Structure 1
Amino acid sequence: MATIKDVSKLAGVSVATVSRVLNRSGYVHEETERKVLQAIKTLNYTPNFVARSLSNKRTSTIGLMVPDITNPFFPELARAVEDVMQLYGYTTILANSDESAQKEKQYIEALKQRYIDGFILASTALTADEVHTFDMPVVVLDRAVLSDKVPLVTSKNREGARKATEFLLAQGCRKIAHLRGPAQLMNADERCQGYLDVAEREKWFHSGLIASGNYDMKRATEAALTLLKEHPDIDGIFAGNDMMAIGAMRAAQTLGISIPENLAIVGFDGIAMGEIVYPELTTVAQPIYDMGALAARMLIKMIEKQPLDSLYYELDVQLIERGTTRKV
């Protein structure tokens, strides 16, 4: 079994330098750090994290809280977080909250007792005041809490929703419905508002064209069935996430409505599943991997008491045209 001395010898540095790299303490030149990390990988060296945690109450472990692991958006996000954390010697523990504040609190208390070093929250059923009581580094990802003190990584939700709705209008759609996410969820509200920014200018718009799909495929299928039965002249749907868009596709297929000839559909997220369904889903794609990786790097800086360049990042989105919209 390799030792820290073996790592220092292979990397051509002192044991103290290897220790600084492992503990993320003190300055180490970037090239030196790279050599040490490569030596660790080559020797398959495993530091004694248990002993280290007993001395400094650090475990090089972080928690990642997601609301629904069955939604493919969150495993893609988790992959990015885990990749970056692993690169810097951290282990990621995944917790699924089911949008429950009680479950979030239980997970957080359990992990804090194990000297976890910080959290990334992609599920925020908790209030800002509750997040502030964690007494450890926290980064919120995708779903905001109402606080200017908690670092946040998100995307341009409202702008993306406007792009989606304007695109459907440009396709010739004359009555566009919206499947929105959960009430009081900031990114769902922003996407709904982006739809409203465009739709409220149109004579056909009324509030009955907005239905809740709760970011869930089954709920969205039921909501879309109701919308399409009550308003058979709907010829466009903007869904607040891709899972709801796929639910809308199922509803249309159940009713024998042809996509995209009689109904155009645009989702939001850019998950890989959108390329598997038929027709392939037109979507407003978030930079999912970049969001997760950025949140991970921010948390590492906070754990290591390094300053953040910014507390707020809002990343660009991209409309990707596929088979659920018409070629014009």
Structure 2
Amino acid sequence: MATILDVSKLAGVNASTVSRVLNGSARISESTRTRVLQAVETLNYRPNIVAKSLKEGTTNCIGIVIPKYIPMMSMVASLLEEIQSAAEAHNKLLFIAYYDHTKDSPYKAIERLNNHQCEGIVYWHNYILGTKNNFDAERFSKIIKSINIPVVTFDISIPENNNLAVLFDHRKTTHKITQYLCQAGYKNIAFISARLTTKIAQWRLDGYISGLKENNVDFNPLLLIESDLDIEDGYHACQELISREINFTALCCFNDKIAIGAAKAIRELIPQKEIKIFGFGNDPILDFITPSISSIKTPMKESINEVIDLLFHNINDKNKKNTALLKTFVGDLVIR
């Protein structure tokens, strides 16, 4: 394997000149730059990243902690694609760590990335997994403080982390759905929620109820039902809702999978009724579902870009004065 000394000998320059050429220094003549680059190509030279990292005191690595949770995989893929592109643009390697429902999983994931000497970390919080593993914000805060590198949280705010966070406002977004339905003339609006043991479900229920209240529509608890998160769960929840024989003309669902299952129940049990259905997530499959399902498009690209900008701003902050920022996004209605 060729070394920087081999390149310097072939190009007829010293090793420091080779280094300046490879680092893009402007203080090099064009003829010298050409000789060095030709030598690099001839010898198929590749810089020793480990040696460079030791010299510069940096690993040129960033980390991301993501939920090991199948229904989130399309959004996880979007996040990984964007942050991988950003890492490459900043000449950084990306390390990935997963967490699951087990108690210590989120904290161990952060510590693993810190042990790899990542310069900064993105942590994507999932409230459903967080309920299962009894996520402890105080413990999380202590770990973040102890590792002394920027940690940007996605969809959760940790005040002790200087609010380095990008959030999705579940309450305002569900309020937006309910307000649209009320203003479109729908009064009996049912809601299939996720289990109300989770914060995210509670926030979306709050948005639904506040939207009704703002439009002078009474909340009817018989129009609320809890469900698990898959298509079959939505199907059975909607069957139960219909069996209550409470007339409803619109239906809000916690996610698109529940909405797809609910649409099947409506199609089978009350095909004569026109029910306006809303999901959450705007899965492309909704374009092919009957009856039609409107949904919420989450601003993933915009929010992910904010996460990335915040991370690299704080990595590059030489004074280590992390910028306090709490950026919040609201979803957009997609009407079908």
TM-score calculated relative to the size of structure 2: 0.72
* Partner SS state of residue 104, structure 1: helix
Number of the residue aligned with 2:32: none
Number of the residue aligned with 2:82: 80
Number of the residue aligned with 2:138: 129
Number of the residue aligned with 1:33: none
Distance in 1 (alpha carbons) for counterparts of 2:60 and 2:212: 51
- Structure of higher RCO (CA pairs closer than 8 Å, 6+ residues apart): 1
Does 1:270 pair with 2:282?
A: yes
Amino acid at match of 2:117: Y
Distance in 1 (alpha carbons) for counterparts of 2:51 and 2:171: 48
After superposition, the Cα gap between the structure-2 partners of 1:198 and 1:3, relative to the gap in structure 1 and judged at 3 Å, is farther
Number of the residue aligned with 1:62: 63
Number of the residue aligned with 1:300: 312
- Tell me by how many angstroms 1:196 deviates: 0.7
- Tell me by how many angstroms 1:164 deviates: 0.7
- Tell me by how many angstroms 1:217 deviates: 3.8
- Tell me by how many angstroms 1:299 deviates: 1.3
Number of the residue aligned with 2:187: 174
Query: Contact between 2:201 and 2:254, CA under 8 Å: does it hold in 1?
Result: yes
Query: Contact between 1:240 and 1:268, CA under 8 Å: does it hold in 2?
Result: yes
Segments of structure 2 that go 5 or more residues without pairing to the other structure are 12-16, 27-36
Does 1:102 pair with 2:104?
A: yes
Distance in 1 (alpha carbons) for counterparts of 2:4 and 2:244: 69
Paired residue total: 296
Which has the greater radius of gyration?
2
Distance in 2 (alpha carbons) for counterparts of 1:319 and 1:2: 57
* Partner SS state of residue 104, structure 2: helix
Distance in 2 (alpha carbons) for counterparts of 1:254 and 1:144: 43
Distance in 2 (alpha carbons) for counterparts of 1:222 and 1:54: 58
Number of the residue aligned with 1:320: 334
Counterpart pick for 1:223 among 203, 219, 237: 237
Query: Contact between 1:175 and 1:205, CA under 8 Å: does it hold in 2?
Result: no
Distance in 1 (alpha carbons) for counterparts of 2:186 and 2:136: 39
Distance in 2 (alpha carbons) for counterparts of 1:171 and 1:3: 70
After superposition, the Cα gap between the structure-2 partners of 1:288 and 1:151, relative to the gap in structure 1 and judged at 3 Å, is same
Distance in 2 (alpha carbons) for counterparts of 1:232 and 1:87: 56
- Tell me by how many angstroms 1:175 deviates: 1.5
Number of the residue aligned with 2:259: 245
Alignment RMSD (CA, Å): 3.7
- Tell me by how many angstroms 1:240 deviates: 2.8
Query: Contact between 1:127 and 1:145, CA under 8 Å: does it hold in 2?
Result: no
Higher helix share: 2
After superposition, the Cα gap between the structure-2 partners of 1:224 and 1:303, relative to the gap in structure 1 and judged at 3 Å, is farther
- Tell me by how many angstroms 1:123 deviates: 2.1
Counterpart pick for 1:193 among 182, 195, 206: 206
Number of the residue aligned with 2:177: 164
Does 1:207 pair with 2:221?
A: yes
TM-score calculated relative to the size of structure 1: 0.73
Distance in 2 (alpha carbons) for counterparts of 1:106 and 1:167: 43
Amino acid at match of 1:321: I
Query: Contact between 1:82 and 1:92, CA under 8 Å: does it hold in 2?
Result: yes
- Tell me by how many angstroms 1:97 deviates: 3.0
Distance in 2 (alpha carbons) for counterparts of 1:298 and 1:210: 39
**Mapping for residues 37-48 of structure 1, pairs under 5 Å:** 48=48
Distance in 1 (alpha carbons) for counterparts of 2:290 and 2:326: 37
- Tell me by how many angstroms 1:282 deviates: 1.1
- Tell me by how many angstroms 1:45 deviates: 8.9
- Cα deviation code 1:231-275 (max 9, x no counterpart): 4412211123333323322333343546xx521111223343433
Query: Contact between 2:62 and 2:121, CA under 8 Å: does it hold in 1?
Result: no
Distance in 2 (alpha carbons) for counterparts of 1:290 and 1:53: 32
Number of the residue aligned with 2:31: none
